[in-house]
Structure 1
Amino acid sequence: MAAAEVHLGSSAEGFRLLDDAERIVAPEDRSALLSQRGLLCVLVGRMDDALLHLNEGISTHSDPADHYGRATDLMNRGMLHALAGRARLAKSDLERCEAIARAAGLPLIVAKSQLNLGYCETLRGDIPAALRAFTLAGQGFAVHAPKLLAVVGIDKARALMQAGLADEAASELDEAIRLLGHARPTYERAEAALTRAQAAVAQQQFGTARSWARRAEQYFLRRGDSSRAAVAVLTRLRADFCTGKRLHRVEAEAEELAVRLRGLGLPNDAETATLLASRAATRRGYLDDARRHLVIGRGTQPVLETALLRRMATAELHLAAGRTGDALRQARSGLALLHEHRGRLGSLDLRTGAAAVASELAAIGLTTAVRQSSPARIFSWAERSRAQAFLMRPVRPPFDAETADAVAELRRLAVVIREAELARRPDVEARRRCARLEHLIRERGWHVGGDGQYHDEATLQDVAHELAAQNAVMVTFMTVDDELLAVVIADGRGGLVRLGDRPAVVEATIRLRTDLDALCGRRHPPALRAVMTNSVTHQLAVLGERLVRPFEKALADRDLVVVPTGPLAGIPWGLLDALRGRPVTVTPSASSWLRGTHAPAGEPSGSGPLLVAGPGLEFAAAEVGKIAGSLPASTVLTGDDATVAATLAHMDNRRIVHFAAHGHHEPGNILFSRLDLADGPLMAYDIGALSSAPEHVVLSSCDTGRSVMRTGDEMLGYAAAFLYSGTKTVVAGVARVADDTAVDVMSCYHELLHRGATPARALAKASLVAPLIPLVSFGS
């Protein structure tokens, strides 16, 4: 009864009932009463009292046969240690709890211990281990306590936020809040509101964050939980700080809040509040106050987020005081921490999301380097803060029975959905089921850990040496304070070029892609087609003037390597007037390009190219047939032979693979971008299953070269999936490519390739056959 009263917000009544019970409790039951009192103290935020009661309860537990009581006591103390940031002690208690519960046949306690172990692993920064634990907990709760599934969603969201996947965390929380319903506030609803506020801060939705934080604070106060209410206030202050308004109030409130949090036994949250006060003081120009806050905040063993925040606050203070070198050292130290954290992640999804966790530190380094106007230093910081996932060794996705069944069902449903669309009878239920399967498969991928191995970052000197050997120029783009900049590497040295406002370039890029898509494969009235063609010409001229003209003299007659930033990855560079007929390679980073140029050619599994024609494209079979005619050693898969299994079997370790297949770019769930084959889709997810990716891939139809650029210019897309898996070069369209146009272009391309031309040179010459074909050579 006491626990029920506290859960429903009547904490005073709950503790009164415990006081009554203590007067009549039998000696052999005293340990249970102490443990219950300790748990309820946790729920209302009295952490020091809770630890005293739980320690006494565990030490006085006299019945060795009471497995439930022993396991529960350890679980509650483990939860307390976790909330206080004592991850090692928490894990020890929770592992003992799980072992006792499993041996005693207590599945619900096992599930609860796994839930808390997941939270503990989140604190330790082992996100794959945390997500594995949450999955196991969810499976247990689904059978033994379905009402607790919402709690799994809340804790899973915390782990996803630490991995930089704020949108995914918000989705988990919205579902958890839906499951919790609209009953009177419970502890779970309060936690869901607090975590939703934290996710909104990470999403940079600061008004939403303030609203959820206030709601959470009210929920906790009604329950008498001053600790969690204080954490809700901290979340609101973080949102206020990010808006840049009323910083004097943020500083004062954060300083006062830090004292409260420390007194409540929450040292990591207290340090966060102190660091927030320091950052606010720095922004206001009160540097002595900022230093004082930093000194007061020392002394804890922080989680990753707090450790990065300390480096951020210290770097900002050094910058404001004119100590640039010290600021850069702090930024480097923070990114090294992130580097170590990312190394634990195996999933491409998590690896590419991780950059969001330290984006401000990366920005400090790059901005400071730009102010120093040193091309070598700017280049170094650009490489340190972009496309880091490409430096990691690929890890194969999981292929357990459940995942394999989900992938097979997803492929089957894709065919059902396509047939329903062709019949103009959309299958809504099949689409819903597909979305659930995609989520399951994606989540399974999150469970895979990394091996911590990285390739080295390139130096400007190394890149310049290789460019000279190839008679090429590299332009690496970046954005600083909404200004577009480029480091141009030519003739053995680098130079900084300022290119003006970023928004104008982004607008022209979007309009160009829209116009190219509209022109592709459609019959338009001549007047309308002329208008769209003129618009394409205009946007190309704008982009050429903004992005190429400033370094055109340095380019001379050499090949070009482009390292794009943000939407620039979607530009069909070969269509710009100054670049027509010129070999252009687009690469995620200079480091990945250099590694690709030095990569030894693999041993091909077949004697010639693999050519695959998918269904639904009128000219696909003609395209691969024409290519095969000039390359007689080719393996050709068309019609019913072009299945997913056959394609994967032939593609593994192949030198050249060419797809003439309808593609689908899925920006909302990029791992399931796909090509249509005879029996279903070949998904970006499937590429990771290859033991050795093909060296050279051509995607000649549709817009499978499009990508989603995450924070830190982490590239996700169908073409990018091949690059991540080890493919050296991918040729693909960044806007729609009509399959009739592709026939002659691709035939010419492969002939040139067969004669020894590089991919970029072969594409540059072959593309002259079709003036507006938006194909790009990605990689090296």
Structure 2
Amino acid sequence: MSTAEGSEIHERAARLHGLAVAATDDGHPGLAARRLRQGLALLRWETGAPPDAGDPERAVLLARLLTSLAHAEAEQGHSARGTELLDEAQRWAPPAELAIVQGQRGLMYLRTGRTAEALELLDLAVPRLARGVELARVLLNRSVIHLMTGKVRLARADARRSAELARALGHEVLEAKAQHNDGYCDLLLGDIPTALAVFGEVEGAYRRVNPGFLPVLALDQARALLAAGLADEAGRTLDGALDGFRKQRLMQDYAEAELARAQAALHAGRFAEARAWARRAEDRFRRRRSPAWALRAELMRLRAEFAGAPRLGPPRLGPPRLGPPRPGSRGAPDQGGRPGSGGVLDQGVWPGSGGAPDHGGRPGPVARKAVDLAARCAELGLRDESETAALLATRALVAAGNLAEAEALWSGIAPLVRPGSRDAPLEVRLMRRLAEAELAGARGLRGQALRRVRSGLALIHAHRGRLGSLDMQTGVTALGSDLAAAGLAAALANGSARLVFEWSERCRAQAFRFPPIRPQHDEPTAEAMAELRHLAQQLHAGEAAARRDPEIRRRCLELERLIRERGWQLPGVRESLAPVSTGAVEAELAAAGLALVSLLNVQGRLLALVLGAGRCRLLELGAYAPLAEAVQRLTGDLNARAGRNLRPNLAAVIDASLRRQLATIADGLLAPLLPSLAGADGIVVVPTMALSAIPWGALPGLVGKPVVAAPSAQVWAAAQRARLTGVADGEPPLLVAGPNLTAVEPEIEQLATLYPKARRLTGSAATVAATLEALDGASIAHLAAHGHHERENVLFSRLVLSDGPLMAHDVQRLRTAPRHVVLSACDIGRLVVRPGDELLGFTAALLYMGTPTVVSSVAKVPDETAIAIMAAYHRHLALGLSPAGALAGASASASASAGESLSTFVCFGAG
């Protein structure tokens, strides 16, 4: 071969290597492997052939091709082949190239969970590399190891140094990956909004220069969502990531995403699904010879088994069980660099939230497996996972009734759990409190159990304070559901109704304790909202004409997602309102002549706390599930009956079903309560879960009785004070009429006779901007407009105005909350209830912003019924009745005059 021919071959091989590295950077190891094999074939490489000292350029090229091919093979799941290729690369590499081979071997160890060995190799490689792209890659990969081991300061230093080198070299891909890792540092420090903001910037860079890495970023975004308790949203994000990893044949990342998917299913209370995902991930990690990752997946599987385990012994009022927290943490390494470790936060299941046992493993066998797993994790240096497994074993032994074994195990692990350390992930610290509380409760040390639960809930509360998004503030409560249930169980065991009341308040609707975040103007969000409003109007018009446009619907979903993501990046205020005392609630109730009923669902049993007349009583009402089913059926019947010209026989069937469901709810819920409510002028109800959809004024026994529904006693007391002590109502009411409601003009005309000075927005004047401006600080606002409760994206529940929808998301823009809002159409009073009885919806958005009183319907309402009730409601208000009293009188008179008509309106907040 001539010198010219040899040079041409070398150039072609070098070009193929460059293309292969670019393919790896973009997440396509299969394509990279093909190009690398072509380069090796050009250079006539044969396995085991002795290095050729006479052609140093060929030796360098072979070493680089073999090193890169090793990584590409390993990424596709062929770890053993990757190791063989690295051995070959080391034989061919001249001394100056050995540091690159060492760095690549370190990356392979990193990807299979051998972090200590990986760190040793990368530490050796860093000082031997020049200030170039290879150094930037190794620093990036070393930052991932520091992320995995919780050394955030070192991880950030390496990531930022890597970014500086990449920026100086004009290497946008490496710079974006380094920024990605920097954002993951924020996530590990608990700063979810900043992490998501960084991830948002990185997403733009990846789309421009490295789209193949978007599934990796999606995996980390899902982990951030899980850290905020948004399990379903995380699951949807992970489904997209899994599809990308499968197409790109990135099997390590695919297995990590399967593991995260197991976590999301566990968070959502789908335990069998969580076990299945975890087992698939475990099998995949074992095939990849990734023992550390396989142990993490095994731990996740045990957690799911324990969460679904049937409990031994007699039934008791206590917490549903969930296993311990996530594995490690991670960011974005490089090959190049694929990311290197992962896991997600644990979340409990609030009683009645769908986390019923699905016949997983029994607690005793789970405990034995967890003890063995703790030892194996310790052998591999997986400190947090080892502690988590030991804590799981302790909890499982307590659940199985083996207290002596649990105490013996705890005495052995207690010195290892680092109770004062802050370097452990939040989920591990929460698990410590939970295990300690359950063990103390089993010993009969209820005071100690409550102190440990209180400590854990304080961690959750501080975590919530860092989040500015209402979406996340309500979601994060789920992370403390096990602790909340354990605290409630300890309070119930104590036997004091007042203590149970205190703990029920400590554990529900905690997002209301933080002042509302009023976001600053954000141009991308404003543009997305404007487009969404325009498209939603088109979509509504098309549906009215029986035309569907799937492309418009798809774009609307994209915009909603973008707006939510921007909202997730809002920082929190940290400071919160102090919890209200039971005495303060009693004083407010006494002043108003009211009694309060707080409902609790504890392991499928419905309990009621009745507070009033100087007494606090705890009553057990019966099973929760039949009442929840009756409420669901009632809502369906009410919606079917509203606004339709039904055939008489079908209407009769629906009416009969309505009466049955109302009777079921009244018999199961009200009958045991009414004797305790005698003498009260009205009732404050704090419902739970599905019971939040009850139209209280329609229940037999409550017709004509003032009833107000509140998320918690604290929210009611605060709203009541605001209603009674706020600025006197001096400005005229606001009346708004939306389009396409045949009865809206008569309704507004009737109200205008009561409020001759009212500000009216009708026809084309009833725009979103005008309505929001008029709502700001309004004394009374009556909005008669079509509404829609958006269950999947609750913050986009909306009222239809002349230029498009006014959404729950828009309400956050108000500078001053209106004092009294009436929503007279559709089912805009419906709520999505998250674990911890956290609420979302249009009505809830007004309450969060500080509106003391909101009157809205929990089901669709016929036009004629709405007109009658609303006219009577405002007449009663004008006579000086309270909102709850006015609604009770209006509903009773409308029902009496209309026969079968039922009032589905509820007074929320203060009455």
User: What is the TM-score normalised by the length of structure 1?
Assistant: 0.96
Which range is displaced more, 658-667 or 154-163?
154-163
- Contact 2:446 / 2:494 at 8 angstroms: preserved in 1? no
Report the CA distance between 1:667 and its aligned residue.
1.1
Where does the alignment leave 5 or more consecutive residues of structure 2 unmatched? 1-68, 310-360, 896-901
Report the equivalent of 2:557.
Answer: 435
Are residues 1:591 and 2:721 paired? no
Distance 1:462 1:142 in 2: 55
Q: Aligned residue for 2:396?
A: 280
Who is 2:903 aligned against? 773
Q: 1:536 aligns with which of 651, 658, 679?
A: 658
TM-score in terms of structure 2 length: 0.82
Segment of structure 1 superposing worse, 372-381 or 766-775 = 766-775
CA pair 197-554 structure 1, distance change in 2 beyond 3 A: closer
Instruction: Please name the residue that 2:600 is paired with.
Output: 478
Tell me, yes or no, if the aligned pair for 1:604 and 1:653 is still in contact at 8 Å.
no
Provide the secondary structure at the position in 1 that maps to 2:822: strand
Q: Greater CA deviation, 364-373 or 690-699? A: 364-373
* Partner in structure 2 of residue 49 of structure 1: 117
Q: Deviations over 1:381-418 (max 9, x none)?
A: 10011001111111124642211111111111111111
- Cross-structure match for 1:329: 451
Matches within 5 A, 1:542-553: 542-553=664-675
Query: Of residues 379, 404, 408 in structure 2, which corresponds to 1:263?
Result: 379
Q: Are 2:417 and 2:432, in contact at CA under 8 Å, matched by a contact in 1?
A: no
Residue 881 of structure 2 corresponds to residue 761 of structure 1: no
Alpha-carbon contact 1:373-1:496 (below 8 Å) kept: no
Residues 292-325 of structure 1 show CA distances to partners (whole Å, capped at 9, x for unaligned) of 4444252473211111111111212122222222
Measured in 1, the distance between the counterparts of 2:513 and 2:892 equals: 34
Question: In the alignment, which of 262, 269, 276 is matched to residue 211 of structure 1?
Answer: 276
Q: Which of 732, 737, 740 is matched with 1:608 structurally?
A: 732
Aligned partner of residue 655 in structure 1, secondary structure: coil
Q: What pairs up with 1:556-595 in 2 under 5 angstroms?
A: 556-595=679-718
Measured after TM superposition, the shift of residue 30 of structure 1 is: 4.4
Structure-2 change in CA distance of 1:634 and 1:256 (3 Å) = same
Q: Which of 679, 683, 691 is residue 807 of structure 2 equivalent to?
A: 683
Instruction: Show CA shifts across 1:551-573 (max 9, x none).
Output: 32332251111111112211111
Q: Match of 1:487, SS?
A: strand
Contact 1:314–1:330 (8 Å) recurs in 2 = yes
* Alpha-carbon separation, structure 2, partners of 1:542 and 1:223: 56
Query: Is the Cα contact below 8 Å between 1:613 and 1:642 reproduced in 2?
Result: yes
Q: Contact 1:275–1:293 at 8 Å: present in 2 too?
A: no
Are the equivalent residues in 2 in contact too, given 1:162–1:305 (CA < 8 A)? no
Instruction: Choose from 525, 529, 536 the match for 2:647.
Output: 525
Give the number of equivalent residue pairs: 777
Q: Distance in 1 between matches of 2:107 and 2:249?
A: 21
Give matches, 1:621-700, under 5 Å. 621-700=745-824
1:188-216 alpha-carbon deviations (Å, 9 max, x no partner): 21211221122222222222222222222
Q: How does 1:452-531 map to 2 (within 5 A)?
A: 452-531=574-653
Moved more, 8-17 or 660-669: 8-17
AA of the residue aligned to 1:636: R
Structure 1 counterpart SS, 2:854:
strand
The corresponding residue for 1:58 is: 126
CA distance in structure 2 between the partners assigned to 1:76 and 1:604 by the alignment: 63
Say whether the 8 Å CA contact 2:776–2:814 is kept in structure 1.
yes
Identity of aligned residues (%): 46
Tell me which of 505, 514, 518 is aligned to 1:383: 505
Q: Please list the CA deviations of residues 198-240 of structure 1 after superposition, one character each: whole Å capped at 9, or x if unmatched.
A: 2222222222222222222222222222111111111111112
Q: Return the alpha-carbon distance in structure 2 between the equivalents of residues 327 and 744 of structure 1.
A: 53
Q: Deviations over 1:561-592 (max 9, x none)?
A: 11111122111111123222221111100011
Q: Which moved more, 1:429-438 or 1:266-275?
A: 266-275
Q: Distance in 1 between matches of 2:364 and 2:873?
A: 63
d(CA) in 2 for partners of 1:150, 1:347: 24
Q: Which moved more, 1:521-530 or 1:205-214?
A: 521-530
Structure 1 position 239 matched with structure 2 position 307 = no
Report the aligned-residue RMSD.
2.0
Question: In the aligned structure 1, how far is the partner of 2:629 from the partner of 2:663?
Answer: 13
Find the counterpart in structure 2 of residue 249 from structure 1. 365
Moved more, 225-234 or 396-405: 396-405
Q: Name the CA distance, whole Å, in 2 between partners of 1:206 and 1:219.
A: 20
Corresponding residue for residue 214 of structure 2: 149
> Partner amino acid for 1:255?
V
Matched, 1:189 2:254: yes
SS of the equivalent of 1:599 reads: helix
- Partner residue in 1 for 2:82: 14
Residues 221-279 of structure 1 show CA distances to partners (whole Å, capped at 9, x for unaligned) of 22222111111111111112222124343223222222222232321122111111222
- What one-letter code is carried by the residue in structure 2 that aligns with 1:154? L
- Measure the CA separation in 1 of the matches of 2:624 and 2:808: 30
Does 2:161 correspond to 1:39?
A: no
Q: For residues 101 and 622 of structure 1, do their structure 2 counterparts lie closer, same or farther at Cα, with a shift above 3 Å needed? A: farther
- Per the TM alignment, residue 705 of structure 1 is displaced from its structure 2 partner at its CA by 0.6
Against the structure 1 CA distance between its residues 506 and 10, is the aligned structure 2 distance closer, same or farther, given a 3 Å change threshold? closer
Q: Which whole-Å CA distance do the structure 1 matches of 2:209 and 2:381 have between them? A: 33
SS of match in other structure, 1:579: coil
Residue pair 1:342, 1:351 contacting (<8 A) in 2 also: yes
Structure 2: which amino acid aligns with 1:238? R
Among candidates 138, 160, 165, match of residue 95 of structure 1:
160
Name the SS for the 1:168 alignment partner: helix
> Which deviates more from structure 2 when the two are superposed, residues 109-118 or residues 666-675?
109-118
**1:604·1:654 contact (CA, 8 Å) conserved in 2?**
no
| 8 A Cα contact 1:44 1:226, kept in partner | yes
2:672 aligned counterpart, secondary structure = helix
3-state secondary structure, aligned to 1:488: strand
* Whole-angstrom CA distance in 2 between matches of 1:704 and 1:96: 52
Residues 614, 639 of structure 1: 8 Å contact kept:
yes
2:438 aligned partner? 316
Shift of 1:726: 1.2
Deviation at 1:603, TM superposition (A): 5.5
CA distance in 1, matches of 2:625, 2:572: 37
Three-state SS of the structure 2 residue aligned to 1:730 is strand
Alignment gaps of 5+ in structure 1: none
AA in 1 matched with 2:776:
D
Give, in whole Å, the separation in 1 of the partners of 2:520 and 2:116: 43
Amino acid in the other structure paired with 2:685: V
Instruction: Give SS of 2:701's match.
Output: helix
Shift of 1:643: 0.8
Native 8 Å contact 2:595 2:680 kept in 1: no
Q: Report the equivalent of 2:332.
A: none
Q: Which amino acid aligns with 1:36?
A: Q
Distance in 2 between the 1:141 and 1:48 partners? 30
2:37 alignment counterpart: none
Quote the offset at 1:759 in angstroms: 1.0
Assess if the C-alpha contact under 8 Å between 1:603 and 1:653 holds in 2.
no
2:619 counterpart of 1:619: no
Kept in 2, the 8 Å contact 1:700–1:746? The answer is: yes
Counterparts of 1:410 and 1:354 in 2: how far apart (Å)? 27
8 Å Cα contact 2:683-2:706 kept in structure 1: yes
Distance (whole Å) between structure 1 residues aligned to residue 290 and residue 609 of structure 2: 54
Determine whether 1:394 maps to 2:516. Answer: yes
Contact 1:611-1:658 at 8 Å conserved across structures: yes
- For 1:559 and 1:577, locate their aligned partners in 2 and report how far apart those are by CA, in whole Å: 15
Q: Which residue of 2 aligns with 1:79?
A: 144
| 1:699 Cα deviation from its structure 2 partner | 0.3
